[in-house]
Amino acid sequence: MSVPERFIQYLQEQALCQPHDRILIAVSGGKDSVMMARLFVESGYAVGFAHCNFQLRGKESDADEALVYELAKTLNVPFYVTRFDTASYARKHGISIQMAARDLRYAWFETIRVSQGYKYIAVAQHRNDHVETLLLNLVRGTGLAGLCGIQPKRGHIIRPMLFLNADEIAAYVKENKLEYRDDLSNFSTKYARNKIRMEVIPRLKELNPDLEVTLAKSMAHFADAYTVLQHHVKQLRKQLFAEYKEGEWRMSKRALATLEPQQFLMYELFKPFGFTDAVMSDLAGTLMGTGISGKQFASSSYVLYVDREEVILTPKKAIHEPIAALERPGAAVKWGTCRFESHVSEDKRIQAEMHIAQFDADKIVFPLSIRSWQEGDAFRPLGMKGHKKLSDLFVSLKIPVHRKHTVPVVTNGNGDILWVVPYRMDDRYKITGKTKKVLTLACF
């Protein structure tokens, strides 16, 4: 069976997408993403190419962007591009360059997906990436979730190249003379993932030449086992957690103490709230009588209080930025580390930039407010008919709980949320065919 036939078969077997779905393809310019882009186009899918220039390698980054632009032009597909000051973003948020790039690109991909009407975002991770992720998780320490590797489909993200290994991709690219660019940082062993790929895996393959296939099968079994576990944990959480206020729960000390295996299940129960295995070990000791009533255990966003008969789970009180007001069109205001600028025009062209949102100006009520997330906040995300809680949005975007209060929330004068910056705007205030004037907000 040819690679294009295997590609279609994998899409169908994993239920990644349907032939009529529009797919936004993340194209970096490397061989993996260029090959994936070609396979989608040649398979007849309606696609668009999205490219992020992280401005980390100077002219090399610009050359990557130029290659993807030319590929999109040659294949006559829409091309979306953005540039990030990745280094500044990493410093501002106190995270690594790699994590900053990940946060920026996935948030921007989702913005383009929703605003331009795509069903899925396709990312070109392959079987070797799958194996590297497992080994990296094992080295760093992981729970069962880390043993599952990379999932073919998670929400609107699909990974259609997981059926191929790196050698197969290289052979196909060479045979079909596909033009691509290598990122030289991928060959530096100062990065842990590269060290595993270039030094550890070759030694393991001396023991098992079919290492990628073997570990991929093992990860599939781990994923199935984890699914069964999570179903059990979900049912336990329903039984044990009694919600007495939104976002706050009480549970019986006796019920927690009789779980078996106790510490393992407690970790899975409280993991969504940011508690570590070490904290669960301490809590288990308290439940067994080695601690005292009134003891507290904290994660980055929640606190566990041990009472005489109960354990109480409650959110930490968040530190909010003061509310800022945008008094009128054309005004500017600062909130936290962000500066907001606004203007009104009759130009209804969509600006597909992550830091810009556009609204039907006639629906806007000034002054606008810019504030932190508040408990119970909800809005109607662009492209959706129903409402969604911001707390659920933050979970789906994988925004760490300790950073969600730094996300600016722009509200209309009538109290509606207009924009969760820079991730989503409200569908009720979007530009339509009836729009006469457009309010543009930019966040820098």
> Which residues are annotated binding-site positions for ATP?
28-33
Q: 251, 311 in Cβ contact below 8 A?
A: yes
270's tokens? 């409280």
Residue position matching structure tokens 């069903």: 119
What's the residue count for the chain?
444
Q: 293, 306 in Cβ contact below 8 A?
A: yes
Q: Is the peptide bond before 261 cis (omega within 30 degrees of 0)?
A: yes
Report the alpha-carbon distance of residue 40 to residue 27 in Å, rounded.
12
Q: 341, 440 in Cβ contact below 8 A?
A: no
121's tokens? 């975002």
Q: What's the burial of 188, exposed, middle or buried (CB within 10 Å: 0-12/13-18/19+)?
A: exposed
Q: Is the peptide bond before 422 cis (omega within 30 degrees of 0)?
A: yes
Report the alpha-carbon distance of residue 195 to residue 20 in Å, rounded.
40
Q: What's the burial of 103, exposed, middle or buried (CB within 10 Å: 0-12/13-18/19+)?
A: buried
Which residues are known binding-site members? 28-33
Report the alpha-carbon distance of residue 312 to residue 57 in Å, rounded.
50
Report the alpha-carbon distance of residue 302 to residue 317 in Å, rounded.
9
- Which alpha helices (H) appear in 258-320, and where do they start and end? 262-270, 277-285
Q: What's the burial of 60, exposed, middle or buried (CB within 10 Å: 0-12/13-18/19+)?
A: middle
Report the alpha-carbon distance of residue 176 to residue 443 in Å, rounded.
43
Q: In what order do the strands lie in the sheet with 310-315?
A: 242-245, 248-252, 310-315, 302-306, 296-298
